[in-house]
Structure 1
Amino acid sequence: MTTTLLLTDPLFQKHDPGQGHPESPARLQRVLGVLASTPVAGTVMASPRSATDAELAAVHTPELLAYLERLSGHRAQIDPDTQVSEDSVDAARLAAGASVQAVEAVMKGQATNAFALVRPPGHHAEPGRSMGFCLFNNVAVAAEAGRRLGAERVLVLDWDVHHGNGTQAAFWGRRDVMYQSVHQFPYYPGTGAAPEVGVGEGEGYTLNIGLPGGNSDADYGMLFEEVFLPVAEAYRPQLVLVSAGFDPHQHDPIGGMDLTERGFAAMCSAMKSLAERVCDGRLVLLLEGGYSLEGLSQSVHACVEVLAGRRDSFPTGPTHADAKHALNASRDALRPYWPML
């Protein structure tokens, strides 16, 4: 029987970037409210632990860790997008810890899969810089935990509408963690062009597909089926992580995509099936963006249903020419490393 571990804590809602900020406590409140009103069988909810100094230091520089420690207990502005309140650093440390705990649970067989319902998000946080609503890079910390627990190869798939520059930077020169991203481009933070494929030993282990906006569930299905999944199958990860941002939803006030809840469920289902084929189902989702309260909460619920056993397929239908163009640009950049493309 599938056991899906959901990790969350009231402390996450005490991270308050300020009135009018899109990354508000209401996001997680709505998600948890929907999960409470429409429970999903086969899920278990638990409170996480905080990340240790060593777990954070596996990704982040001593200078960044010291800087954030000085901000703990204070309200401050890190950059034009990123504000912290008195509890934010503690919440961020707990979010990173939840990510590690989710990985521990699936690597040790205590859960089939897991979803860390956390905030602040993480994928913009670079090894030496907090930015873009993010303090610590939760998925990078989780990937390092997976490596320590014996996963020789870890796959990170990022479907947030924004490119995860921090995650890319963390593993740019490595092949033990593959980073795949589909995102709006050009858009914040400006990274994620098709030719960005990694360097040195990591060359060919970063895959970026940047879409212009307005793209549909069917477009995303084409990218998964023609690029992400074939490469992932060849890579054969021993742990699959998803930076699950829901701002590509068609109602999101920040993103410019046209995805529906069923599109997110289809992406989740594709990653779950991949994990079942190559790594005994070891799959962890970590919450990133998503700023339509209704779109976010319904899409998270749809993904939790998939984790707990539902299957979803990408809808058939016409795809946009610009999505095909983006796919071909990425395929051209990656074909020297992945001949099946």
Structure 2
Amino acid sequence: MTLEDMYNQDLDDEDDDSDWDPFQQPLEVIKWFCTNCTMLNLGDVDHCEVCQEHRESGILKQGCFASAFDSGLTETLSDTRERPKGSQDSASNSSTVVGFDERMLLHSEVQMKSHPHPERPDRIRAISASLATAGIFPGRCHPIPAREITREELQMVHSMEHIETVDHTGHMYSSYFTPDTYANEHSARAARLAAGLCADLAKAIVSGHAKNGFALVRPPGHHAGVIQAMGFCLHNNAAVAALAAQVSGAKKVLIVDWDVHHGNGTQEIFDQNKSVLYVSLHRHEGGQFYPGTGAADEVGTMGAEGYCVNVPWSRGGVGDNDYIYAFQHVVLPIASEFSPDFTIISAGFDAARGDPLGCCDVTPAGYEKMTHMLSDLSGGKMLVILEGGYNLRSISSSATAVIKVLLGESPGCELDTPLPSRSGLQTVLEVLEIQKKYWPALGSSLTKLQSQLKMHSVQNKGEELSLFPSAVWS
């Protein structure tokens, strides 16, 4: 009897020996991608091995208020339940405006890849769900009508060739500007809507129709330069907003970019412009971290030296203390001397704890504090624009914390005397050494910090300087 005959023969149960059956199908490996962080998980497990999110997470329904550990939707926090959940406030009753349009959700990667693209529609779904669950939007903020930016407005930022190239993708089912920067037939409109919302938010704030605002937009923009789309970005939303603000009467505009990646496009656009101060805090690692630009000695050109300030972290894992320390000793002193009429935050949340691309450690309390530190500039006229951020729980909780500051809530966690890491302090000292030439007020701060560093270096082994305990130096 052949093996095939044995397989086809009707055997009694006791004679069945299927564990050596030559026609048995191979065991299928179960795999699933985490809704929260997109990481691949193997096996029949319920929680993501990277971020611990449940495989059937409710994060897209309740945002950061959904439980990370089961598939059910949790009750919202007590302070959230107390918020009014009625109809949206009218513009006359609210000072904070939010820019959002569901058509931006249509921008997505069409081609099936081995891994979901990190810049996906769920990013703004999760933030929107968090704001709705907290009673913030709809509720305490009011919307601004969406419109598509005009070519004439885009020409203030981008070349006509770039504008036409982006528009042309509207006639294609799927296309790519770079291997990681995709477009589908809806992407050009989504980019025009994002830029149009940012322009109109800036105009509303500068003109006094709103105190501040949050642009819940995608695709992001700060990598988009004069002639190229890259790094998930098609049009540069922050640059469009800055120039719209100037058209509306703001003479000097400050852009603070805390995305974990350097905003090379924004820097390029304003590289020779003294009326726009660009400050970026980002991972750099000697040019080895994407996009490789943003060294401390990139300060602007053609008479605009000093109007570009880069704080390039030398490693990953950077957290609240280093960021706030840099704000205290670099960002705020320079920004205060610049005295802007309007402030823009390029708010990428990919330096947040748990982000799969940024691998840093900034918490919602850290973003909350940084926003609060900037809120006194330009008379509170501030626009926060979403850039990167790819862990849905991190970006939704961080964005919610930032918008609460825009609404006038004080930070819940005080971080007034941060203790920087050794590498963080060295970065701040490097930036101060370079920028003091253009901002003389930094000289005294640099001398003080250098003295403290010298004092630490001469301490006997085992002794500590109170300002910089060795336990926090890494």
Would the TM-score normalized by the shorter structure come out above 0.5?
Answer: yes
CA contact (8 A) 1:3 1:42 kept: no
Return the alpha-carbon distance in structure 2 between the equivalents of residues 48 and 261 of structure 1: 28
**2:68 is the counterpart of 1:68:** no
* Superposed displacement of residue 311, structure 1: 1.9
Corresponding residue of 1:16: 108
**2:153 is the counterpart of 1:50:** no
Pick one of 434, 437, 441 that aligns with 1:336: 437
Return the alpha-carbon distance in structure 2 between the equivalents of residues 25 and 264 of structure 1: 23
Alignment of 1:54-203 (within 5 A): 54-74=152-172, 75-186=174-285, 187-203=289-305
Alignment of 1:195-274 (within 5 A): 195-211=297-313, 212-274=315-377
Pick one of 306, 316, 327 that aligns with 2:428: 327
Q: Which has the higher contact order (CA 8 A, sep 6+)?
A: 1
* Superposed displacement of residue 173, structure 1: 0.8
1:252-296 CA-to-partner distances (Å, cap 9, x unmatched) read 01002110011011111111122xxxx222100110000000000
* Superposed displacement of residue 318, structure 1: 2.7
The count of residues paired between Structure 1 and Structure 2 equals 337
Return the alpha-carbon distance in structure 1 between the equivalents of residues 94 and 103 of structure 2: 28
2:302 partner amino acid: G
Q: Name which of structure 1's ranges 15-24 and 256-265 shifts more when overlaid on structure 2.
A: 15-24
Q: Name which of structure 1's ranges 14-23 and 175-184 shifts more when overlaid on structure 2.
A: 14-23
Partner secondary structure for residue 171 of structure 2: coil
CA contact (8 A) 1:217 1:258 kept: yes
CA contact (8 A) 2:144 2:201 kept: no
Instruction: Spell out structure 1 runs of 4+ moving beyond 4 A.
Output: none
Return the alpha-carbon distance in structure 2 between the equivalents of residues 190 and 99 of structure 1: 27
TM-score when normalising by structure 1: 0.96
Corresponding residue of 2:96: 4
Return the alpha-carbon distance in structure 1 between the equivalents of residues 418 and 237 of structure 2: 35
CA contact (8 A) 1:218 1:315 kept: no
**2:419 is the counterpart of 1:318:** yes
Return the alpha-carbon distance in structure 2 between the equivalents of residues 17 and 201 of structure 1: 41
Return the alpha-carbon distance in structure 2 between the equivalents of residues 205 and 314 of structure 1: 28
2:131 partner amino acid: L
Corresponding residue of 2:135: 39
Return the alpha-carbon distance in structure 2 between the equivalents of residues 160 and 206 of structure 1: 16
CA contact (8 A) 1:127 1:170 kept: yes
Return the alpha-carbon distance in structure 1 between the equivalents of residues 409 and 321 of structure 2: 19
Return the alpha-carbon distance in structure 2 between the equivalents of residues 68 and 46 of structure 1: 25
Pick one of 278, 299, 309 that aligns with 2:398: 299
Partner secondary structure for residue 375 of structure 2: helix
Return the alpha-carbon distance in structure 2 between the equivalents of residues 266 and 128 of structure 1: 35
Q: Which runs of 5+ in 1 are unaligned?
A: none
Return the alpha-carbon distance in structure 2 between the equivalents of residues 314 and 173 of structure 1: 35
Return the alpha-carbon distance in structure 1 between the equivalents of residues 135 and 328 of structure 2: 31
TM-score when normalising by structure 2: 0.70
Corresponding residue of 2:379: 280
Measured on the aligned residues, the alpha-carbon RMSD in Å equals 1.3
* Superposed displacement of residue 331, structure 1: 0.8
2:345 partner amino acid: V
1:329 partner amino acid: E
CA contact (8 A) 2:259 2:281 kept: yes
Return the alpha-carbon distance in structure 1 between the equivalents of residues 393 and 145 of structure 2: 24
1:63 partner amino acid: E
Q: Name which of structure 1's ranges 290-299 and 210-219 shifts more when overlaid on structure 2.
A: 210-219
Return the alpha-carbon distance in structure 2 between the equivalents of residues 45 and 110 of structure 1: 12
Partner secondary structure for residue 5 of structure 1: strand
- Taking a change above 3 Å as real, the CA distance of residues 2 and 46 of structure 1, as seen in their structure-2 partners, is closer
Return the alpha-carbon distance in structure 1 between the equivalents of residues 184 and 131 of structure 2: 27
Return the alpha-carbon distance in structure 2 between the equivalents of residues 54 and 200 of structure 1: 26
1:22-45 CA-to-partner distances (Å, cap 9, x unmatched) read 000010110101111111263112
1:8 partner amino acid: F
Return the alpha-carbon distance in structure 1 between the equivalents of residues 433 and 146 of structure 2: 42
Return the alpha-carbon distance in structure 1 between the equivalents of residues 226 and 170 of structure 2: 19
Return the alpha-carbon distance in structure 1 between the equivalents of residues 409 and 150 of structure 2: 35
1:20-72 CA-to-partner distances (Å, cap 9, x unmatched) read 10000010110101111111263112342111111100000011111112111
Q: Which runs of 5+ in 2 are unaligned?
A: 1-92, 443-474
1:220-263 CA-to-partner distances (Å, cap 9, x unmatched) read 11000101001000001111011000000011010021100110
* Superposed displacement of residue 201, structure 1: 2.0
